[in-house]
Chain A
Amino acid sequence: KQEVTQIPAALSVPEGENLVLNCSFTDSAIYNLQWFRQDPGKGLTSLLLIQSSQREQTSGRLNASLDKSSGRSTLYIAASQPGDSATYLCAVRPIRETSGSRLTFGEGTQLTVNP
């Protein structure tokens, strides 16, 4: 059974700091990994999608890496801003097409960027 762990559970940083969020998974047989952002009371917004054959994806100030063999992904946020404050979730999709390709989510990292 796939398990996804996100560390830290919460993080508070001053504005302008570069930061790294970590995600680890137990089963390396993944199709892809997706990072989401969730603002309080809102739905999930997709940030980056990394296919199993890729090592990293970038979008603006965000960079996500994937090391499938070690079961790890990191989300790097450069020059953090107060607007980046949210909960960040990573989710993995399995290779095997069963259960509708159920996503397994981590518990999330709650990020607060202080002005």
Chain B
Amino acid sequence: SQTIHQWPATLVQPVGSPLSLECTVEGTSNPNLYWYRQAAGRGLQLLFYSVGIGQISSEVPQNLSASRPQDRQFILSSKKLLLSDSGFYLCAWRSTVAGGYTFGSGTRLTVV
């Protein structure tokens, strides 16, 4: 069966520090991968998606970047965090069979 792993679960980082969040998927190959952010009291915002290794599409220009170094690995990064980067970050993959989405458990990022 397919599983998605996301870590860390929580992170507190100072303004100006770098960021690296990792997401890996097991049990499938060549998945579409997504990074979403959910700000407090707001809906989900799509940040990046990837349809293959090295292929990244950005939905919202901002202080973040994404990379896909391996088929089932998706990384969200920042060189210098801003206070506005605080939020709940969710990784997801999409099934090519039924077309449904599966989300990871999320990372709560607080920038102080």
Choose among A42, A99, A101, A105 the residue that contacts B106 (Cβ–Cβ < 8 A): A42
Are B100 and A100 in touch, CB under 8 angstroms?
no
Are A100 and B51 in touch, CB under 8 angstroms?
yes
Chain B residues, CB < 8 A from A51: 98-99
The answer to whether the Cβ of B49 comes within 8 Å of any Cβ in the partner chain is yes
User: A32-B100, A41-B108 given as contacts; is B44 within 8 A of A100 (CB)?
Assistant: no
Within 8 A of B (CB), among A23-56: 31-32, 34, 36, 41-46, 49, 51
Chain B CB within 10 Å, residue with most, of A36, A49, A100, A106:
A100
Chain A, interface SS category: strand
Are A101 and B32 in touch, CB under 8 angstroms?
yes
Are B103 and A43 in touch, CB under 8 angstroms?
yes
Are A91 and B101 in touch, CB under 8 angstroms?
yes
Closest chain B CB from A87 CB (angstroms) = 10
Chain B residues, CB < 8 A from A68: none
Closest chain B CB from A44 CB (angstroms) = 4
A-B contact count (CB 8 A): 59
Chain B residues, CB < 8 A from A96: none
Closest chain A CB from B47 CB (angstroms) = 11
The answer to whether the Cβ of B104 comes within 8 Å of any Cβ in the partner chain is yes
CA distance A75 to B59 in the complex (A): 30
The answer to whether the Cβ of B66 comes within 8 Å of any Cβ in the partner chain is no
Are B101 and A34 in touch, CB under 8 angstroms?
yes
Closest chain B CB from A81 CB (angstroms) = 23
Are A42 and B100 in touch, CB under 8 angstroms?
no
Interface residues of A (CB under 8 A from B): 31-32, 34, 36, 41-46, 49, 51, 89, 91, 93, 99-103, 105-108
Extra pairs beyond A44-B92, A102-B59 (8, CB < 8 Å): A32-B100, A36-B103, A41-B106, A41-B108, A43-B106, A46-B100, A93-B99, A101-B94
